[in-house]
Amino acid sequence: MKQWIFLLVCIAISGANAEYLELQSAYKQVLADNDGLKSTQHAVQKQEKLNLASKMLYLPQVSLGAYYVRLHEPMNMHLLNQSQLGNLGGNSALAPLLQHLGQPITLQDQNIIFGAINVVYPIFTGGKRYFANKLSQIALEDSYLALKLKELSLFEDCVRLYYGVVLNNQILHTLESANAGHLTHYENAQKLQNKGQIARLETLQAQVNYDKSSIDVKKASDNLVIANMALNAMLNRESKEPLELVEQIDIKQDSRLESLEYFVNKTLEVYPALSLMDNKIKSAKQLSHIEFSTFLPEVGLFGSYMMNDNSSMFDKAMPNWFAGIGAKWSLITPGGRIQKYQASKIASIEAELAKSQATKDLKTLCEKTYNEVLSFKSQYFSLQSSIELANENLKLRQKAFLQGMSTSADVSDAQNALALAIIERQSVAYNYAIALARLLSLSDEVDRFYGFFN
């Protein structure tokens, strides 16, 4: 008796230090602290930058170049060759002039240094830039959808882990109560044996049942510890202080769901995974356009402004700038343009078939989950009568045992039947919560979840 009093005192003290946490608050904490979600959020930010970068494709390419060239020998030019000089050599008056004309003129020395500002601006690329921007926009939408899908997935995980702790805590209390019942029965059996009213075999049976019950309590306690560890890990919580959660999963009997058709239509309309499949079809079509653009010519403007030190005649003769328009049409390329274009068409068909199958699978999942929700709710309220029956049966078996009209096995079986009936009802409530969370995640209505429980 002293042990039980000590246990109750410890529970009261730990409960006073426990932090109370509702499911809604737990989910908000997950959205704020989950590293996986933060990673997905950063993926969205990355895609936003890439989408902005794709818009820069419409800008011209401007580059600044600086060059140094070392020639094998200076660039020289002779105004008159040797034969021409020979023909004019007979005139002595021209001799000094011919001597100068016979010297080579240096157009450029061996060192060439110049810079250039180059501009290239494509004016027709076959649609590559336009469709590349389309692809980038689709990728950005995909990142938003992936973030939404992650949030919905985390909601299901949060419900599973949160109510997993609640369920394991309920199971532990139920088994502790059953264990206390087995202990009381064992003590009564000892008293009756001492009075000679029952055989020692009945007492041993009661002791075995009590020991088995104690083992079940220890297993349930370990499962509760593991469930708490999983919940703390999801909440990114390092504190060792216990969490105080709701006492039980209490389903509202008057809660009502819309029709199955409503949830199926809503799921097919808003579920992010299906939208991702739709975007995959769009991406395949845009890639097909890009592959087709490789068959078209490319036209662009170009220009350059050159800068040098004007130290040579060649530098002075060169123009400072030039501009023009150019076109390129690839007739034969080693890239396999035809095959790539055909592959892009096949990819589009592949994506459409994948979406069709995903739609069927999602519809089936929605129908299955909807029926599970209704079934678990019906079972939950129907099992209340089983608990009442098991409780009455236990009372009768206990009284019959004290009167010598029942055995220890009968009392143990009745005690276990009551515990199993309670645990079964609690497990059904847990399964109901999981199925409901999945159904409302599919229809993107998770905020409605909390209104289905007391």
Domain edges within the chain: 21-59+125-294+335-452
Q: Are 149 and 297 in contact (CB under 8 A)?
A: no
Least confident piece of the model among 12-21, 165-174, 407-416, 442-451: 12-21
Q: What is the mean pLDDT of residues 89-98?
A: 55
Q: What is the mean pLDDT of residues 48-60?
A: 94
Euclidean distance between CA atoms 209 and 413, whole angstroms: 9
pLDDT range class, residue 118, cuts 50, 70, 90: very high
Predicted pLDDT of residue 85: 54
Euclidean distance between CA atoms 254 and 226, whole angstroms: 34
Confidence check: pLDDT of 91 > 70 = no
Token pair listed for 237: 């919580």
Tell me which residue of 146, 444, 448, 435 sits closest to 266, measured CA to CA.
444
Q: Give the position of tokens 């932090």.
A: 19
Q: Are 189 and 202 in contact (CB under 8 A)?
A: yes
In the predicted model, what is the mean pLDDT of the chain? 87
Q: Are 326 and 309 in contact (CB under 8 A)?
A: no
Neighbours of 78 (CB within 10 A): 13
Predicted pLDDT of residue 250: 92
Q: What is the mean pLDDT of residues 332-346?
A: 90
Tell me which residue of 152, 377, 426 sits closest to 257, measured CA to CA.
377
Predicted pLDDT of residue 107: 74
Confidence check: pLDDT of 242 > 60 = yes
Residue 233 DSSP SS3: helix
Q: What is the reported pTM?
A: 0.82
Predicted pLDDT of residue 454: 84
Q: What is the mean pLDDT of residues 155-170?
A: 96
For the chain, how are helix, strand and coil distributed in percent, rounded to 5?
Answer: 70, 10, 20
Q: What is the CATH number of domain 21-59+125-294+335-452?
A: 1.20.1600.10
